Amino acid sequence: MIDISVYNVTMIMTNCYMLRDRESGRMAVVDPGGRSEKLINDIKKYGGSLDYVLLTHGHYDHIGFARQMAEMFGAEIVCGKYTDEFLSDNFLNHSEFHSDFEKIIPFSADILLNDGDSFKLGNTEITYISTPGHTKDSGCFIFDDVIISGDTLFCESFGRTDLPTGNDAEIIQSIKRLKDIEGDYKVLPGHGPDSSLSYERMYNPLMRRIK
């Protein structure tokens, strides 16, 4: 089982998550789009050892502090195989369009995941699934009864598709894929409040339309 803490980072309130495996104490951080002193201090409070920096996709507000976080704590950067391209291209990661945001210094991931790949954080297995649409590299991390959905699925909404590599048809298929997962899961999105699959099946306008 993994304990989860949430930190709002960046001026557009990106949800960054710290994951801590309850039995082993091993830790990971998801989508550190900006520096958070509270997050850094909490990692140190729990021993200062970080295994992974996980990225749901390659937009600037999700990767902005990933390289620094990994270097600070000796962690490996883990993401879907298509995200690696975004880490070194400021057009794709959209940082070149935001004068109020520091441009991303190109970096590379340490571990690239294919759809359905799994890995362990301590004693807990985490599965990565590819959910393109918001961007071609968008994906979700699933463990226990939780889906970290990045910018694919929000509470009563879903990711915009009008940025580079966004695709309307793909977001529909990705939302359908999440809808069709058996059972109920807590949904932790890249922005906004948490939700659940059962709630989204009832109230998400796109998910309701999909058969």
Element (H, E) at 133: none
Question: What is the per-residue pLDDT across 33-73, written as a single tens digit (0 to 9) for each?
Answer: 999 999 999 999 999 899 999 999 999 999 999 999 999 99
Name the more confident of 65 and 11. Answer: 65
Q: For residues 156-183, give the mean pLDDT.
A: 97
CA angle, 158 as apex, 154 and 163 as ends, to 5°?
125
pLDDT tens readout for residues 78-124 = 999 999 999 999 999 988 776 566 778 899 999 999 999 999 999 99
pLDDT reported for residue 104: 85
Say whether 69 sits in a helix, a strand or coil.
helix
Please, which residues have CB within 8 angstroms of residue 99's CB and are 6 or more apart in sequence?
none
Please state, rounded to an integer, the average pLDDT across all residues of the chain: 95
Provide the residue ranges of all domains of the chain, joining segments of one domain with +: 2-209
pLDDT of residue 99: 57
pTM: 0.96
Mean pLDDT, range 134-161, rounded to an integer: 98
Interatomic CA distance for residues 85 and 63, integer angstroms: 12
Architecture of the domain spanning 2-209: 4-Layer Sandwich (3.60)
- What number of CA atoms fall less than 13 Å from residue 207's CA on the CB side? 24
